[in-house]
Each structure stands twice: as C-alpha cells, then as structure tokens.
C-alpha cells in the first residue's frame, strides 16, 4: 500500500519538470498519430490491444441486448400472428424470386466463366449486427458483433441490402471494426453503370454525401447516374450498386469534374451488414 501513489510513473522520474514531460508526451503522441494515420503500421498492434477491449465491448453491449430482449418479449401475440402471416407470404414470394435468381445466376456464371476465367464464385455471406454502442465521432466506422472466431477477416467487403457500406479494417476475437465508405480514409474503385467510365469514390466524413474523383471534364456523367463497384483491386465483388450521382460541376480549366454522389447504403442507420470476400482474397 505504501508508495502506491508515487510509483505510478514508470517512464519519468519525479524530478523532471512538468513542461518537459508534457513536451515529450505530446511529441510521442503526435508521432503515434501520424504513424497510425499515414502508414497504418499499427493496425495489427491495434488488433492485439483490441483483445483487451473485446470483453469490454461485450459488457457494454449488455444493456442494449437486455432492452432488445425485453422489447421482443413485450410484443403482443396479435402482432406476432399478423407478422407470421406476412412472413409466410414473403417467404413464398422470395422463394419464387430465388428460383428466378438462381436461373439467372447460372446463366451469368456461364457467361463470366467464358469472359473471365479468374472470377471466383461469391462465397458464403456472413451476416453481422452493428453494435449500438459505436461512438465514432463522425459515425464513419462501426463495430460489428462478429469477429475472428466467426470467420471475419481484415479486408472483407461489408454490404447492406441497398449497396456497398464499407470494409473490415480491424478484427478482434468476437467483434470487428468496419470502415464505412463515408470515411475520409476510404477509397472505392467504381464505374458508371450506364457508360462504364471508371472513377474512385472517396468519403468526406458525411453519411449522405461522397465524392467521385478523377472524372475528366469531358466524361459523360449525368445527375441520376448509378455507380457500381468495378471489382478493380479485388476487394469488392464487381457490379454491386454504390451510389447515385447527385451533383455535377464542371469548372473550365480544371482537369476533373466535381462530382458529388449519394450512397445507396443507409450509412447513418445501419443495422445488419453482410460480409463477403471480393473476387480475389488477399
């Protein structure tokens, strides 16, 4: 017990003045931030340290899960019956659609096999729930409740039912961080569905607006055009919808047009994410 209050600082002796200690810490932390931001050298280290946080996340999730269970328990019998009927109807409809899709998929796979012998059939989808406690300041990174133990790996594409949402960047034993396409660090190779013109979609820290880069002034782009993944880079499955063009500005004299797009995935209220590998696992 004695001395507990004084041995808290293993790096510096007590004689070192506070201003010097502050300077050293600030320099160290700025270096850490630059390394982490620019080179992502520490991502692996982060996963290791994250192992400490994994149980903490599970603990923090408890109140949310309890609330969810209580809500389920309180749902009235009647609405359950109505819901069951609705689901049965949906089930039939979806089964029929699935048959149609399977037929289409067979055709498509045959065509792709002819065109691109390297294309890998899309693997099994892993579905994860977005953990509600996520508190990234701009909501551009989310925590999901599937991790290494469930087969999640760094680099997997995260898709919601509408379009591409992001990719897995850090994997913990039972959780993983997903960087959304709205993150300023995220770049996604895309193409215009109508014309096939290629571009890169970059996040701006906002859930409702992204930027399409490297589109020449002369490129044929219109408001309302659909952008889809091009599959270049191998991270994302090709031809998956990404965003719709909302704003095109061409400034004479500049090399590229300013193109703003709206993501199809509902990035600010994601609930479930499907994780899948792109055509070439890295």
Instruction: Name the minimum Å distance from CB 201 to another protein.
Output: 15
Q: 240 CB contacts (<8 Å, ≥6 apart)?
A: 159, 163, 164, 228, 229
> Using CB under 8 A, which residues numbered 208 to 267 contact another protein?
none
Least distance in angstroms from the C-beta of 2 to another protein:
6
Site for another protein in 178-197 (CB under 8 A): 184-185
Residue 3 lies near another protein (rule: CB under 8 A): yes
User: Is residue 125 a contact residue for another protein (CB under 8 A)?
Assistant: no
13 binds another protein (CB under 8 A): no
Cβ proximity to another protein: between 66 and 125 the closer is 66
Among 70, 73, 95, 137, binds another protein (CB under 8 A): 137
Residues 206, 195 contacting (CB under 8 angstroms): no
Q: How far is the CB of 15 from another protein (least distance, A)?
A: 13
Residues in the chain: 282
- Sheet arrangement for strand 126-129: 126-129, 272-276, 157-159, 164-171, 176-180, 141-144
What is the total count of residues that contact another protein (CB under 8 A)?
49
Residue 228's closest CA among 163, 280, 281?
Answer: 163
Identify each DSSP E strand in the chain by its residue range: 126-129, 141-144, 157-159, 164-171, 176-180, 187-192, 198-206, 209-213, 226-229, 241-249, 258-263, 272-276
Residues binding another protein (CB under 8 A): 1-6, 8-12, 18-19, 21-22, 25-26, 29-30, 32-33, 36-37, 42, 46, 49-50, 53, 56-57, 60, 133-141, 143, 170, 177, 184-185, 204-206, 268
């Amino acid at each position: 017990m004695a001395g507990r209050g004084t041995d808290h600082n293993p790096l510096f002796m007590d004689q070192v003045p506070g201003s010097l200690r502050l300077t050293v810490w600030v320099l160290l932390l700025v270096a850490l931030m630059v390394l982490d931001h620019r080179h992502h050298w520490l991502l692996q280290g982060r996963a290791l340290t994250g192992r400490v946080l994994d149980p903490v996340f599970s603990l923090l999730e408890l109140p949310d899960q309890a609330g969810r269970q209580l809500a389920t328990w309180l749902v009235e019998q009647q609405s359950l019956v109505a819901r069951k009927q609705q689901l049965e109807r949906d089930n039939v409809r979806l089964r029929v659609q699935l048959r149609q899709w399977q037929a289409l998929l067979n055709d498509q796979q045959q065509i792709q096999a002819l065109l691109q012998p390297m294309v890998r059939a899309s693997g099994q989808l892993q579905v994860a729930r977005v953990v509600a406690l996520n508190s990234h300041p701009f909501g551009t990174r989310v925590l999901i409740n599937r991790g290494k133990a469930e087969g999640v790996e760094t680099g997997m594409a995260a898709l919601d039912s509408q379009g591409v949402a992001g990719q897995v960047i850090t994997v913990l034993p039972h959780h993983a961080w997903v960087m959304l396409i709205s993150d300023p660090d995220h770049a996604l190779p895309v193409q215009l569905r109508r014309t096939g013109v290629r571009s890169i979609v970059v996040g701006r820290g906002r859930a409702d607006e992204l930027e399409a880069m490297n589109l020449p002034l002369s490129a044929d782009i219109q408001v309302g055009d659909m952008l889809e993944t091009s599959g270049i880079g191998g991270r994302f499955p090709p031809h998956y919808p990404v965003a719709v063009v909302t704003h095109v500005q061409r400034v004479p004299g500049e090399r590229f047009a300013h193109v703003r797009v709206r993501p199809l995935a509902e990035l600010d209220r994601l609930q479930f994410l499907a994780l899948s590998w792109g055509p070439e696992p890295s």
